[in-house]
Every structure is written in structure tokens, then in C-alpha cells.
Chain A
Amino acid sequence: MEHRVVITGIGIYSSIGESIPEVLTSLKEGKSGIIYDEPRKEFGYRSCLTGFVKDPDLKPFLSRRERIGMHQPAMFAYMSTKEAVEMAGLDADFFENNETGIIFGNDSTAGAVVETIDKARQRKDTTLIGSGDIFQNMNCTVNMNLSTIYKLKGINLTMSAACASGSHSIGMGYLLIKQGLQERVICGGAQEINIYAMGSFDGLGTFSIRHDAPHKASRPFDRDRDGLVPSGGSATIIIESLESALKRNAKIYGEIVGYGFSSNGDHISNPNFDGQYRSLTMSMKQAGLTPNDIDYINAHATSTPVGDTTEAQVIAGVLGSKIPVSSTKSMTGHECWMAGASEVVYSLLMMHNDFIAPNINFENPDEDSSKINIVPEFREAKIDCFLSNSFGFGGTNSSLIIKKFKL
């Protein structure tokens, strides 16, 4: 028997707000979370632009032992998960007695690793590194920390799939619940923003250097874009079987109806029309929908010419030119490992508050972006169903389709 999969909690800690209410306001206002980060200049970054989120103070919430294994990915993830868990009406006592899994997207722990290696080099004695570093250093840091804090007893694995990590985490959780293997899974994505995390990416020369206007720097689909802006934070989505949600009388925020995925099998960094096309069509086929059923597309578009162009071609080719499209990365920057999860949160907020968040800085289309319906300003709109794309290095692609819940 297949199970319907619904969303019962969301949480966000991002450059455009540290909670759902803050982010909702920013989405409506088209607020940018991008800053010029002076230390990057000294470090040797080509681009000093980044989305900014501050390190949260977790002392009021967690013990020393619980905090000591956390660096940015886990710290950010705790904040978004705390909000989602509370929204879902859940807590550690419930999790201890009701099997719940966690599949969280994360694909780096650069800041933690560099700090650990610095200590080891300075002290020349690994026993003086400290007991928390190993749990900060491993890529599964979010899973290790959150599963321990929340006493989770179901599936426990980290989704590392570059900039599609967050999206695949939701997709895989969806499949497990749909098949009846899990009742409930905490999904999401986390992204560190420290100076060590993005240096090698910056070195590829694909970041915007519009230093004189940080808020104008991330401009997906715009003819005059000059690259992406890295960003980070965390987003959490709690998904469960419809039976479980109804049994708990939980408020339902949406239903996942389609998950498509593919690998390009091609270049390590360049996007590929065929790979994206297959991911998108797979999600549509699985959901049993036609383009007329989709009310909004949250594009992956990162503000790089080659990436935006390919996605515009795929959207036009598969879904046509009428469906409203925006890339919330225009406001947040590219939240990388977190993006697939955060963009589902942003889209759910639009669906529940009847608006489309603007693709800010979209001033002039190019040949391909002129063929799709990009929304440059806040627009009131009724959304019953949306599609969210995420594409990552290595050619990993993920497309999710989420509908407003109807019994």
C-alpha cells in the first residue's frame, strides 16, 4: 500500500530572516540578504559578496555536551529544526516513543576541519584537539547532532548531493514514507557560510563581483548578471504519512506528489539540458500532472549565464511559457546544500499566503529567459501546486512537486 506524504512542519534560518515570520516578510518585500564581507578581500577571494547569517547562541537551548560537536552546519540546522519541530507539535519525548527518521542535506564542513587542523598543527598532539571536533568535522554532522538531541530512532543518513542535497533529502524521505518504511522523517539542508567554505568555489571565477551594489548582485535570468553569490543557513521540512498526521491532528502545510531525479552523466560543473529535462519530466509523470496543473515554478537559477540559460530552455520545453517563475536566489543568494530545502520552505510560504515572491533584479531578459514567465515583482497569486528545481555539481538533478493539501 502506498501512503500519501504530507508536510507538517517547516523551519528556516537564512540570510533573509531567522524565522518563518521574518522570512515571510522578506519574501513579500523582495529583500536581499547579500552583504560585502571585508575579510574575504584579505583572504584572497575574487568576490567578497555573500549571504549573511549569524552564528546562533545555542546556550539557552542546549547543554555543553550537546553544543560541543556543532559547527555552522549543525548550529544553523538546529535553529531551523527547532522551529519546524515546534510548528509540527513534536518534541524529543514524542520522538523517543514514535519512530522518526532524519535525512538532512549537507556537503561540507570546511570551517570545522580547518579549525581542527590548525589546532593539531599548533599543538602537535591530537589528544589536545578536543572531544567535539570529530563530530563537527564529519559531513554527517547535522545528522549526528540532531538525531542525538531529538532522540530519533528511524532512518539516519546524510544527503550529500552538492546543490541538490536539500531537495534530494526531501525526495528520499518522501519515497521512504510513501513505501511505508517510515512514518515520519525530518528533512532539510544546511550550508556553512564561513570564509573557508567557499574559497575554492570562488576560485572558479563564477561568483558575482558587483561589489558596489551587493543587493543587485544576484540577478538570476537577467541579461546583465555576472555570476552567483554564495549564501547559507538551514531549512527543515518535517514530512509524514497522511495517516500519522491525521492521527496526531497535525496541521498540514502541503502534500508532496512528485519527485524526479537524474544524473547528467556529463561534465562535472556544466549543466546539461537532457539531465534537467529528465528530472523535471520524471516528477511530472510521477505526480500525474500536466503543465496546466502547475501554478508556480521556483527555479534553481543561480545567476550564472550557462545555468540560467539551460534551465530556462528546459522549463520552456517541458512546461511552456505561461507558468510564473521566480528564483528566490535573487534575494538569498545561492544557499547551495541548503537551497533545495529552503526553496521548498519559501514556496510553501507563498502557497499559504497567496503570493509569488519576486525574482528581484530581473530587469532585462536574454534570448532564453524571454521565453518563460519570470515574475520580477511581488504578485498576489493563488498557488495550489508548485514545482521546485535543484541542480548540482556532478550533474545531480532533483525536482519536487508539492500541492496544497486536500483530503
Chain B
Amino acid sequence: MNRAEIIETTKRFLSEEFEVDPNTIEPENNLQETLDLSSLDYVDLVIVIEENLGFKPTAEDFKSVATFEDFYQMVEAKMAE
């Protein structure tokens, strides 16, 4: 999956799961604020990633994620493993 495919796929399932306008998901935007994530929501974030991308990120993986750009980099790195 290349970067464009990652962006398209994650935009779809994140906007569906967290009920946000897909247009608000932009690389420079903050992931937690845009998706309005509480600590509980990270449980569901892991589940939709596992269901849609086939890997299960850990809390450690999210430490470097602030923006969606960070998120895409994390996804690329995990999928390359």
C-alpha cells in the first residue's frame, strides 16, 4: 500500500468510525483533536486499524503521532515490518 492508498483508506475508515467530516483529515491537522479522541477512543482506533490494515499498533507506536502526517508515517513503518 503506497502513501496515497494509505491516506485514502485511513480517511475512509477513520471518518466512518469517529463520525467526522473526511475533509477535516489533512496531513497537518492534529489527529487527537480532529477525531475528538478520548483515552477510551484509542481502544477503538486500534481495532479499526487492525480490521482495515491488518496490524495492531501499540501505545508505543502512538507516542510519535501528533498529526495525520505522523500517523501516515507510523502506518507506513508498521506495514513495512
A interface, CB within 8 angstroms of B: 63-65, 68, 127-128, 130-132
- For the complex, is B81 an interface residue (Cβ under 8 Å from A)? no
Q: How many residues does chain B have at the interface if contact means C-beta atoms less than 8 Å apart?
A: 12
Residues of A within 8 A of B36 (CB): 65
Residues of A within 8 A of B56 (CB): 127-128
Residues of B within 8 A of A132 (CB): 44
7 intermolecular pairs with C-beta atoms under 8 Å apart: A64-B18, A65-B36, A68-B44, A128-B46, A128-B47, A131-B41, A131-B43
Q: Taking CB as reference atom, which chain B residue is nearest A59?
A: B19
- For the complex, is B23 an interface residue (Cβ under 8 Å from A)? no
Check A65–B38 contact: CB distance below 8 A. yes
Check B41–A130 contact: CB distance below 8 A. no
Residues of B within 8 A of A65 (CB): 36, 38, 40-41
Check B41–A127 contact: CB distance below 8 A. no
Report B27-40 CB contacts with A as 1/0, cut-off 8 Å.
00000000010101
In this complex, which of B18, B19, B40 has the most chain A Cβ atoms within 10 angstroms of its Cβ?
A: B40
Shortest Cβ distance from residue B58 to the other chain A in the assembled complex, whole angstroms: 10
Known contacts A63-B19, A131-B44; 19 further A-B pairs (Cβ under 8 A)? A64-B18, A64-B19, A65-B36, A65-B38, A65-B40, A65-B41, A68-B44, A127-B56, A128-B46, A128-B47, A128-B50, A128-B56, A130-B43, A130-B44, A130-B47, A131-B40, A131-B41, A131-B43, A132-B44
Shortest Cβ distance from residue A297 to the other chain B in the assembled complex, whole angstroms: 47
Q: In the complex, A63 Cα to B19 Cα: how many Å? A: 9
Q: Is the interface of A mostly helix, strand, loop or mixed?
A: loop
Q: Considering the complex of A and B, which 6 residue pairs feature the smallest CB-CB distances, nearest first?
A: A131-B43, A131-B40, A64-B19, A131-B44, A128-B47, A130-B44
Shortest Cβ distance from residue B9 to the other chain A in the assembled complex, whole angstroms: 19
Q: Taking CB as reference atom, which chain B residue is nearest A133?
A: B43
Q: In the complex, A68 Cα to B40 Cα: how many Å? A: 11
Shortest Cβ distance from residue A202 to the other chain B in the assembled complex, whole angstroms: 34
Shortest Cβ distance from residue A115 to the other chain B in the assembled complex, whole angstroms: 14
Q: In the complex, A131 Cα to B47 Cα: how many Å? A: 10
Q: In the complex, A64 Cα to B50 Cα: how many Å? A: 20
Q: In the complex, A121 Cα to B31 Cα: how many Å? A: 31
Residues of B within 8 A of A131 (CB): 40-41, 43-44
Shortest Cβ distance from residue A86 to the other chain B in the assembled complex, whole angstroms: 25
Q: In the complex, A68 Cα to B18 Cα: how many Å? A: 11
Q: Taking CB as reference atom, which chain B residue is nearest A68?
A: B44
Shortest Cβ distance from residue B67 to the other chain A in the assembled complex, whole angstroms: 22
Q: In the complex, A64 Cα to B44 Cα: how many Å? A: 12
Shortest Cβ distance from residue A71 to the other chain B in the assembled complex, whole angstroms: 16
Check B46–A127 contact: CB distance below 8 A. yes
Shortest Cβ distance from residue A135 to the other chain B in the assembled complex, whole angstroms: 9
